[in-house]
Structure 1
């Protein structure tokens, strides 16, 4: 299949990943290429060029000189996705896989010459919800399908549109299992933003008697300096920086437990899958998809969202079998299962479009035959005279 994969423009689709969506899009494109598909990745120009990159903007909007204001970022985003749509219309693709959150692609879905699969990575918010409703209202042909990365996310969107559930996946085989971690060492990594609650994860680890290593990009500098930086002493609490994937793997497998403290309904949580692949059990608040990914053999999902409850969860989780954690990653979190699910939806959408095209051709033929069999009254008059 010739597949157009559309990503976010704010950050590059490249290592080190800014977040889970960038990682998801990178792995999706990589695995589709490995399976023999012809993939074009529509993303920023500083994304990974080994993934069939079709650059829609010179650089990611985070660093783009014309996108440093809200109005500038909106204009750059609009221009980038308009470029993607133009290229898709002339690219003879079989399918578009839309991983972006920008409304423009959805608003254009019914007008594209190819079917579109939209993956929902975010909770309901007004701009995307309006675009979903508009696209659904124009989807008489069935050329648009929607997938959600977890059951909890699909449930949030269900009043607006029905989404098939295809869980995110990671390349479990590339993660090294470690049966003997460093004792009393916890880890947290992700973007340092308030909604991910890293300061609470640090406090819970310390209260449980664990030292903790934290890593990731600083997404909100003011929050990091106010809430996180005062806790970092490079003894009990160490900041490792924004790590490459290979460095994350080394850090995760050393940890006795992964601590998470999401303050929002996280749609999936790729960090859970990566921790489990390393053999590292998880302690986390019960938010978003945590309860779908983790079971009682590999994690402790804390209902009470307090530092004290999470600290107790850290102690309990660290006692769980690391072999059970790895088994859960292999059976539930594998990228091959994710790509299998998307390929199934691609084939379904392509088959539906081809059926629609056959029906349209048959209707056109039938109409032409009907018109040809009809005699014009003027012709009859001429024959009679």
Structure 2
């Protein structure tokens, strides 16, 4: 029997990994950590204080830093959030460089910070880094300086992989984010539509409201208000009981009930969504998706699970709501089971981990023989 691996998962130093989740990345890390534990691996999590203690077997501390009064008065003093993240990740990477080989087999990086990638060559253990976003200046800088040494990159969609391959300079394996299909069960459907996710302008909450109003379909909104100014200006004035309702930032079970009792799920990104976790969660509930065809979303939604419309085409989305709501819900869920299940994701990550460990061992042996 193959022994379980000791996996250090690196997440956000700013957002705790707990319900209700700050965003899709936090949700993904929580589900992955728990799934790896169930599969027989030992997971240690680096994430902000307040993370769910049951998500992993152990935690790596997030080091905090308070600069002196003199340092704070320096004109070059950066924003405190930037400095806090820098200190936390620097401390983590120094700790892994010093003692990581005694404690872990592999590091799995999910953070969007540059230091894990920049300092990966200093680690005595391999790192797998999942690319959750399009290329960013800071991460590009880290790759440019190191050539991506010490890191095996994977991406959450073919779209995201293609965007990064020119930066990394080599093919990137795709590992779609999986969902726990037992936790997002098949629901009976309902009369109205649902939109859920972080309420920000780039997620296009206001476009979902406009599409539902055009279609004459009741709409429920759920998720954290990540941009209060946007919510006050573009969402709150359009709330009307029974027509457009904001049901709050819900824990997973309550959110799954809302999604499962909706006729359709509207997905309205105003940017190229790297993957679209809400799409996979909707499909798992049997709720057809009507979405703007942006980023990685067309890789998930097919003709049996929803409808894709041109980016920003609210009128087309409104027209597609009725057609999508007639799709058989069991067949919609079947798409989630085949294309974006947690089981398939974990199996693929296990293969990535073991490949990284083998390559790391071979690399160290070559270095010893040369020395």
TM-score of the two chains, using structure 1 as the length reference: 0.88
Mapping of 1:81-120 within 5 angstroms?
A: 81-89=89-97, 90-91=99-100, 92=102, 93-120=104-131
Q: How far off its partner does 1:57 sit?
A: 4.5
Residue number in structure 2 paired with 1:130: 141
Residue number in structure 2 paired with 1:80: 88
Q: What is the alpha-carbon distance in structure 2 between the residues aligned to residue 104 and residue 363 of structure 1?
A: 29
Tell me if 1:260 matches 2:267.
yes
Choose 352-361 or 102-111, whichever is displaced more: 352-361
Q: Is 1:45–1:57's contact at 8 Å kept on the other side of the alignment?
A: no
Q: How far off its partner does 1:144 sit?
A: 1.6
Q: What is the alpha-carbon distance in structure 2 between the residues aligned to residue 360 and residue 193 of structure 1?
A: 49
The Cα RMSD (Å) is 1.7
Residue number in structure 2 paired with 1:371: none
Q: Is 2:275–2:297's contact at 8 Å kept on the other side of the alignment?
A: yes
Residue number in structure 2 paired with 1:55: 61
Residue number in structure 1 paired with 2:232: 225
State the Cα deviation string for residues 294-338 of structure 1 (Å, max 9, x = none): 001101010252221110121221111111111001111101111
Q: What is the alpha-carbon distance in structure 2 between the residues aligned to residue 3 and residue 237 of structure 1?
A: 43
Match of 1:358 among 348, 360, 365: 365
State the Cα deviation string for residues 134-175 of structure 1 (Å, max 9, x = none): 2326x2xxx421000000011111211232110000001222
TM-score of the two chains, using structure 2 as the length reference: 0.91
Residue number in structure 2 paired with 1:14: 18
State the Cα deviation string for residues 275-310 of structure 1 (Å, max 9, x = none): 001110000111111110000110101025222111
State the Cα deviation string for residues 45-78 of structure 1 (Å, max 9, x = none): 111122122231479xxxxxx9xx9710011001
Choose 32-41 or 97-106, whichever is displaced more: 32-41
Residue number in structure 2 paired with 1:169: 178
Q: Is 2:64–2:87's contact at 8 Å kept on the other side of the alignment?
A: no
Q: What is the alpha-carbon distance in structure 1 between the residues aligned to residue 223 and residue 255 of structure 2?
A: 9
Residue number in structure 1 paired with 2:164: 157
Q: What is the alpha-carbon distance in structure 1 between the residues aligned to residue 178 and residue 231 of structure 2?
A: 29
Q: Is 2:64–2:84's contact at 8 Å kept on the other side of the alignment?
A: no
Q: What is the alpha-carbon distance in structure 2 between the residues aligned to residue 268 and residue 347 of structure 1?
A: 25
Tell me if 1:26 matches 2:35.
no
Q: Is 2:14–2:47's contact at 8 Å kept on the other side of the alignment?
A: no
Q: How far off its partner does 1:345 sit?
A: 1.0
> Residue 62 of structure 2 aligns to a residue in which SS?
strand
Q: What is the alpha-carbon distance in structure 1 between the residues aligned to residue 47 and residue 146 of structure 2?
A: 22
Q: How far off its partner does 1:339 sit?
A: 1.2
Residue number in structure 1 paired with 2:69: none
State the Cα deviation string for residues 26-46 of structure 1 (Å, max 9, x = none): 111111111221211011111
Residue number in structure 2 paired with 1:71: 79
Residue number in structure 1 paired with 2:356: 349
Structure 1 segments of 4+ aligned residues over 6 angstroms from their partners: none
Tell me if 1:326 matches 2:333.
yes
Q: What is the alpha-carbon distance in structure 1 between the residues aligned to residue 145 and residue 342 of structure 2?
A: 31
How many residues align? The count is: 350
> Residue 108 of structure 2 aligns to a residue in which SS?
strand
Residue number in structure 2 paired with 1:213: 220
Call closer, same or farther: CA 1:229–1:118 in 2, change over 3 Å: same
Residue number in structure 1 paired with 2:50: 46
Tell me if 1:317 matches 2:324.
yes
State the Cα deviation string for residues 81-122 of structure 1 (Å, max 9, x = none): 122113322132211101001001111011111111111001
Q: What is the alpha-carbon distance in structure 1 between the residues aligned to residue 161 and residue 330 of structure 2?
A: 30
> Residue 122 of structure 1 aligns to a residue in which SS?
coil
Q: Is 1:47–1:53's contact at 8 Å kept on the other side of the alignment?
A: no
Q: What is the alpha-carbon distance in structure 1 between the residues aligned to residue 152 and residue 278 of structure 2?
A: 27
> Residue 45 of structure 2 aligns to a residue in which SS?
strand
Tell me if 1:198 matches 2:209.
no
Match of 1:144 among 148, 151, 154: 151
Gapped regions of structure 1 (runs ≥ 5): 60-65, 365-385
